[in-house]
Amino acid sequence: MKNSNQLQQQALKAVTAHLPIDIDGSNVIVEDGLSYTRSPIKAHDYATGLFSAFGGAVEYLGRMRGLPAQTLTVNRRLSGLSLNSLQLTFSNGRALGFDDYTTGPDNGIYRTRDNRFFGMIGLHPKLRDGITEYLGATSREGLRRAISQRDAQDLEDSFAQRRLPGGMVRTPQEWLDHPQGRACAEHPMVLVDQLSKGGSRRLGNATVRPLEGVRVVELANVVAGPTTGRALAEQGAEVIKLACVGGPVTIGIWLDANWGKRQFRMNIKGPAGQAKLRELLAGADVLLNSMSPGRLTELGLGPEALQQINPNLILADFSFAPKNSPWFDRKGFEQIAQSVSGIVSVNSQDRYMDDPTHISVLINDFCSAYNLATGIVSALAAREEQGGFWYVEHSLLRNATEAVRYVRPMNDEQYAPVSIADLRRWAIDQDTPNGVFTRLTPPVTFSHTPSKAWRPTGLPFGGVEGLSWQDKPIGSDDPLATPHYPSRIVAEGRLHDFVECYGIEDRGDGGGDVSFFSAGLAVLSRDQGLEAI
């Protein structure tokens, strides 16, 4: 990695250590840039190393398939911006609304009776209702009072029994002393394993894109799993996303994570849906799964059944905790992984808030997404040579256990808030049936095969008509064309609802705002003279 620092190199080595292919980063050029994430945890450096690993895997597979060797460029500042990409996405110049989205007081960190802290999040109505019903309160003050009457460990155990997302704030050492923390530390960063040999499916030579011809079935929701699918689509994969009928949708997250995909709503539990899903899997290369642990097996699609359907499939599982670990069946999100692993504890040292708070980027969701994508691409490369059925696995907690190791004094560098200048440099526009969408360019720049998403983002309102693999995927008639362009919306000053800031932060007072302007960041931003556009 040219021009890289020790932390960036450490991150690349961590994610590639157990892969079946060799990625050394020698073809990566790192561009330096200021961080906006004011934290002892160096999220920008961590992400730079992980994105470099993903680019290295994509380049490796492309070279295997006859494409030219490539140089990769990864910018440190863009890497950090990419960890909040959902808040830098605009439709016709207007923010998608996630900055105004409030999950309520059920999202936050509260002080417990034993003078510890407990974090929870009710992202979807079912989870919110479960939390408020169990605690017997709906207001911020009511929840604060209810939690202050319970010990942190008791709350964590009770939430787990009710399959609600919550966890006590631990230090990194407390996490490593915990059975789940030890299990995470001992688990490969990304597990890639060949479960069986044989089969004849291979990708063969590519003409333009490293992942052209790769077929992915995505059964994933929220941030990390769908972002993995987006990363694969941007390199040429055909991704079919199947959304459950009646499943929860958070609009801002959805529109950010689902570029490049064909999206359908389908009842995969019913006989017709089951038959269609099996038909798709028979012709697929990858099944990307982030459903609750055990759901695939309940559908009759465990690893053994999948091998019968497609002996050359790559099953990629994403979960809250590593497979076969003590917490494998628990529900959890970004915020809970930060709380239990030590990220919240380290991030809150020498801060401007009295109570602990999360780091101001989604360090687990987005980093985990690219870690899993790196594993999938490396499995595709290994399958080209060895054939067989492959299993790839990663989790939020495994990423969190690694991320908390990338620590330096918070004040050892200068910080610059996210600004309109960042969007002038890195925002791209893309025309869609719903107008012009503005978003960040992907974090890795390839010298010969630019990243792009031919299919615009959108919501899966349609049924299953036309649900089959395409002989000529969109964009194949003119593979050298690019559907996006440098943002004219930004250049012409037509962007609205943008706030200069130091990131997004879930408040340590149980306030519940997932927002650029949380309490502490608002004070900090005013002190720095930052304004909204």
Q: What is the pLDDT of residues 436-462, one digit of tens each?
A: 999 999 999 999 999 999 998 877 666
Percentage above 70 pLDDT, the chain: 89
Tell me: the pLDDT tens digits for 118-152? 999 987 888 989 999 999 999 989 999 999 999 99
Distance between CA atoms of 453 and 456, rounded to whole angstroms? 7
Confidence of residue 530 (pLDDT cuts 50, 70, 90): very low
pLDDT higher at 355 or 111: 111
The dihedral sign for the CA sequence 75, 76, 77, 78: positive
Predicted pLDDT of residue 112: 97
Predicted pLDDT of residue 351: 64
The dihedral sign for the CA sequence 276, 307, 55, 407: positive
Strand partners, 41: 407
Torsion angle, CA of 375/378/379/382, rounded to 10 degrees?
A: -160
For residue 471, give the CATH number of its domain.
3.40.50.10540
DSSP for 242-289 reads: EEETT----HHHHHHH-TTEEEEEE-TTSHHHHHHHHHHHHT-SEEEE
Distance between CA atoms of 488 and 430, rounded to whole angstroms? 10
| Token duo for residue 133 | 């019903």
CB count within 10 Å of CB 311 equals 17
Distance between CA atoms of 357 and 519, rounded to whole angstroms? 11
Residue 219 reports pLDDT greater than 60 = yes
- What does pTM read for this prediction? 0.94
Distance between CA atoms of 348 and 232, rounded to whole angstroms? 35
Confidence of residue 254 (pLDDT cuts 50, 70, 90): confident
Tell me: the pLDDT tens digits for 3-38? 999 999 999 999 999 999 999 999 999 999 999 998
Predicted pLDDT of residue 246: 62
Whether the CB-CB separation of 333 and 123 falls below 8 Å is answered with yes
Whether the CB-CB separation of 457 and 258 falls below 8 Å is answered with yes
Predicted pLDDT of residue 158: 97
pLDDT higher at 497 or 135: 135
Residues 28-46 as b or e (16 or more Cβ within 10 Å = b):
bbbeebebbbbbbbbbbbb
Tell me: the pLDDT tens digits for 296-334? 999 999 999 999 999 999 999 999 999 999 999 998 999
CB count within 10 Å of CB 101 equals 16
Average pLDDT estimate for 214-234: 95
Strand partners, 119: 109, 167
Range of the domain at 204: 1-532
Count of domains for the chain: 1
Distances (CA, A) of 178 to 105, 184, 326, 464: 28, 10, 10, 46
